[in-house]
Amino acid sequence: MKEQRLIIEMAQGVDLHGRDDTKAARRAVEQALQGASLPIFGTLGLERDVMRVVVHIGVPRPEAGDVDVIAALVPYGSVDVVCESGGLDVPVAGDVAVMAVAALEVFLPVR
């Protein structure tokens, strides 16, 4: 099925004290979701479940990112999560804050 990307939403999230890549990624995705509004479904007469969402996560330790936890944050459609090397470990007063970045791509079928 042919599809077209209609939106890209980006954000960042931080875990200040836990050194938890998944927590930072979760916060980045939640922030991106708060900035995304898709009123196009009513206009096109489509159900939200037809969308495909690809979530790209950049964290310092991609293997530590729990893709199931991240995918569960997206309320509609089929979701693919890709954890990639990125983000930052930021030294903060004897601790490390983990910064994650997220990019959400939303694809809809082309009729």
In angstroms, the CA 11 to CA 57 distance is: 10
In angstroms, the CA 16 to CA 95 distance is: 8
pLDDT at 79: 97
In angstroms, the CA 65 to CA 16 distance is: 16
Residue ranges of the chain whose pLDDT lies below 50: none
- pTM of the model as a whole: 0.89
In angstroms, the CA 108 to CA 111 distance is: 9
pLDDT at 41: 66
- Contact present, 59 and 70 (Cβ < 8 Å): no
pLDDT at 14: 97
